[in-house]
Structure 1
Amino acid sequence: MPAFKYRARGQRGDAIEGVIEAASSDLAATRLIEGGLTPIDIDEVQDKVGMSSDLADLFPPEVKLVDLIQFSRQMHSLLRAGVPILSALHGLANNARNRTLAKTLAGVIESLEAGRDLSSSLSQYPKIFSVFYISLVRVGETSGRLEEVFRQLATYLEREKKTRDQIKSAMRYPTFVITAILVAVVIINVFVVPAFAAIFEKFGSDLPLPTRILVGASDLTVNHWQGLLVAIVLLVTGIRLYIRGDTGRYKWHKLQLQLPLVGKVLYQATLARFSRLFALVQRSGIPIVTGLSVVARALDNDFVQERVLTMRDGIERGEAISSTAASTGVFDHLVLQMLQVGEESGTTDQLMQEVADYYDDEVDYAIEKLGSAIEPVLTISLAALVLLLASGIFLPMWDLYKVALH
């Protein structure tokens, strides 16, 4: 899309210069006026560095979580101040520091001008706006509380960023240890074991089982690494293709909640997301059947999504919320109790918000303890590796020593 360099006056008469992308100079002027600016001069920017521009298109900057947080915060502030959506997006697109986000917002603006709603326009960019993000925007459009939804999105994304940073911090030491172990294993297989294998071969006697395991692993690594590499690539590719399918993705999402150490954290995080979204839907005044459909799509877990849709179908048949939730078998006692109390008292949204806050705190605590929980597993694994190496190398050396004595 062409870019236009402009000079304009702000609402207070201050001079403003910048660059805006538009299909034509007339459309650029229209967008400036909608953004509250009075255009003075608009000139098309000539591309004098075609190669660098092409490279920038080939390697566009990634839209990070912090960019989405800032965008959501700004949209909340602008909409709360009464700025129309198109004007708000024009201003954010012109001032966005991330080039990819700016081009995305320009595409969203074009989609809105073509008559689509905001959630449908955002859904054209699934790599930037997740299903969860789009679903919440759709809730905001349906309920007329779009500015509140953007505030909720900013808060949620900030918590998600905090959680990711905590996980990275907790996994830094285990990752370092695992990397060191893998490097040590490769060095031992490629350089150490072959040298000892030549000595053991001259010895001529039967080797102990640990030694045979080490020699076999070393032979596979050194002499058949091409086949080993192909097997690993095929295995990884096969698993990824399987997970991308409906059945594989469902089973993988179910397995995630049952994994040791991290399964409980993922389960609590899913309950927190469900509770927070359900509270938001309840406050928005959306029919509960429609709201649960939106919540299910936003959970990002096919296994739990299917259970929530089952819950929705039960409510559609006239059953109580708490009883249908209990029949799914996916919610714990706390969520079920709060749903039952909320039904009786008419405060479901408040109670589910409290449940979400509780599980968010539990997730924070579990992540803080994740590193210390992994350390014993690493210690045992490292001890087993050292035992295998020691027994595989030193047992035959001890036999050689006894032969030398006799």
Structure 2
Amino acid sequence: MRQPGPPLSAVIDDHGELMPASAASAAGRAPRAGRRGRIDTALFAESLAALLDAGLPVLDALHTLGQRAASPAMAALVAELDRSLREGLALSAALAQHRDVFGDVIVALVQSAERTSNLGESLGRYAADLRAQQAMRRRVLGSALYPAVVVSVGVLVIGFLLAYVVPRFAEMVLSSGVKVSPASRMLLTLSAAMHQSQGITLAILLALAAAPALLFGTARGRALAGRWLGRIPAWGRTVREYHLARFFSSAALLLRGGLPVLRTIELAADTLHGDDRVRIQGVLRRLSAGQDLAGALTAEGIDDHLVIRLVEVGQRSGTLGPQFQRVATLLELEVSRRIDWATRLFEPLLMLAIGVAIGTIVVLMYVPILELATAIE
């Protein structure tokens, strides 16, 4: 979307989904494995779809999945689903008992597919959509992770220079009585102090080296990183467009699965947070009151002209699902464009800043040495 909206803090939740930091502790649409361990729902849907398309009944397909499950957690989950089906539950009802793993979208899709006998096709579309979202999520995450790693490496190099290289010259220069600049004296004094406290210095350097893993490897760390990153307007807009792309992609998937528009918007709204989710709740109220979707989106502030025009076309031609997918594709392209632009711009600037910092240390270190050599001559 071209309207910038407010900055949005983004983190990666325990299941790898990108979500706002303000919602990091809340239950979201993304499935969480909990005590089961991580479960790849895309792999589950892909495998089950392939077996169903091959002509196997649902029970036989689940039994086969259980025999070649990718993990003990997956095997235990498939066994519970198999038991529920043997007790007489439909697959959608069995999946609904594990919403914390699968989420509401796949449950609604399966429930609709059970009425139309295209379960394998619906699961295949769900898996393809989820894989596409995961690929985009990795791009967004990578755009934040790479600079963090570069900064950590740069800080380690600078710390090594200050703690172990500069001190070899600091004592000689400071005790020689040679006049040095205030900047050089400050650098030499700092390096000497760091060298004397080697244990503390080493601990700080190791903590800095582990910072990317701590920030992006835990929910609390991702929440903290999300708050910091959310203050960067360009990053906030990119994450917002990523979430909107997920919203329209999920809505397109649900519409193609046969769900009504109101229920589709309600389920897809779980991919949004903050102001955009409030806007979609307003859209739902307007739809319930009888207003058309394009008018409701415009009235609630989701008024990008391209999006509204595509929605209007979809309403008139009965192709709302494909038009939603086009909107999602356009937003994903915009997110990719922003990431590519930021990468081409920011990475050289980051490397330049680190190079300037290291070069400054080297210059401040060698100028007093040259002055000392001149004085000796």
TM over 0.5: yes
Q: How far has the Cα of 1:369 moved from its partner?
A: 5.8
The yes-or-no answer on 1:212 pairing with 2:186 is yes
Contact 1:140 1:148 in 2 (8 A): no
Contact 1:339 1:348 in 2 (8 A): yes
2:280 to 303, 308, 311: 308
Q: How far has the Cα of 1:295 moved from its partner?
A: 0.4
1:140 to 109, 125, 132: 109
1:326 to 292, 298, 319: 298
Structure 1 distance, partners of 2:269, 2:184, is 51
- Going from structure 1 to structure 2, the CA distance change for 1:350 and 1:373 (only over 3 Å counts) comes to same
The yes-or-no answer on 1:393 pairing with 2:368 is no
Q: How far has the Cα of 1:343 moved from its partner?
A: 3.2
The corresponding residue for 1:77 is: 50
Q: Which has the larger radius of gyration?
A: 1
Look up the SS of the partner of 2:259 in the other structure: coil
Unaligned runs of 5+ in 1: 1-59
The yes-or-no answer on 1:96 pairing with 2:60 is no
The yes-or-no answer on 1:271 pairing with 2:244 is yes
Deviations 1:6-59 (A, max 9, x none): xxxxxxxxxxxxxxxxxxxxxxxxxxxxxxxxxxxxxxxxxxxxxxxxxxxxxx
Structure 2 distance, partners of 1:352, 1:166, is 22
The corresponding residue for 2:99 is: 123
Deviates more, 1:201-210 or 1:173-182: 173-182
Q: Which amino acid aligns with 1:110?
A: R
Q: Which amino acid aligns with 2:105?
A: L
Contact 1:311 1:324 in 2 (8 A): yes
1:375 to 320, 331, 347: 347
Structure 2 distance, partners of 1:213, 1:329, is 54
The corresponding residue for 1:108 is: 81
- Going from structure 1 to structure 2, the CA distance change for 1:350 and 1:156 (only over 3 Å counts) comes to closer
Contact 2:133 2:246 in 1 (8 A): no
Q: Which amino acid aligns with 1:294?
A: L
Look up the SS of the partner of 2:166 in the other structure: helix
Among all aligned residue pairs of Structure 1 and Structure 2, give the percentage whose two residues are the same amino acid. 22
Matched length? 327
Deviations 1:104-126 (A, max 9, x none): 312333355565813323325x3
Contact 2:166 2:191 in 1 (8 A): no
Q: How far has the Cα of 1:294 moved from its partner?
A: 0.9
Structure 1 distance, partners of 2:338, 2:52, is 37
Kindly report which structure 2 residues correspond to 1:128-277, keeping only aligned pairs within 5 A, or say none. Answer: 129=102, 134-144=103-113, 146-160=119-133, 162-163=135-136, 178=151, 180-203=153-176, 207-209=181-183, 211-212=185-186, 215-216=189-190, 219=193, 223=197, 224-225=200-201, 228=204, 241=220, 252=227, 255=230, 258=232, 260=234, 265-277=238-250
Structure 2 distance, partners of 1:91, 1:355, is 38
- Going from structure 1 to structure 2, the CA distance change for 1:298 and 1:170 (only over 3 Å counts) comes to closer
| RMSD (Å) for aligned C-alpha atoms | 4.4
Contact 1:271 1:356 in 2 (8 A): yes
Deviations 1:195-239 (A, max 9, x none): 2332343145565236525743773586244885899799x79x9
Contact 2:244 2:331 in 1 (8 A): yes
- Going from structure 1 to structure 2, the CA distance change for 1:363 and 1:241 (only over 3 Å counts) comes to closer
Q: TM-score, normalised by structure 1?
A: 0.63
Deviations 1:239-270 (A, max 9, x none): 964976xxx89x849928x554x556544433
Q: Which amino acid aligns with 1:383?
A: G
Q: How far has the Cα of 1:191 moved from its partner?
A: 0.4
Structure 2 distance, partners of 1:287, 1:154, is 21
- Going from structure 1 to structure 2, the CA distance change for 1:315 and 1:364 (only over 3 Å counts) comes to same
Structure 2 distance, partners of 1:382, 1:252, is 24
Contact 1:79 1:147 in 2 (8 A): yes
Deviations 1:321-376 (A, max 9, x none): 22432355466432233223333444322211222233444555555666534432
Q: Which amino acid aligns with 2:107?
A: R
Contact 2:162 2:194 in 1 (8 A): no
The corresponding residue for 1:39 is: none
Structure 2 distance, partners of 1:214, 1:331, is 58
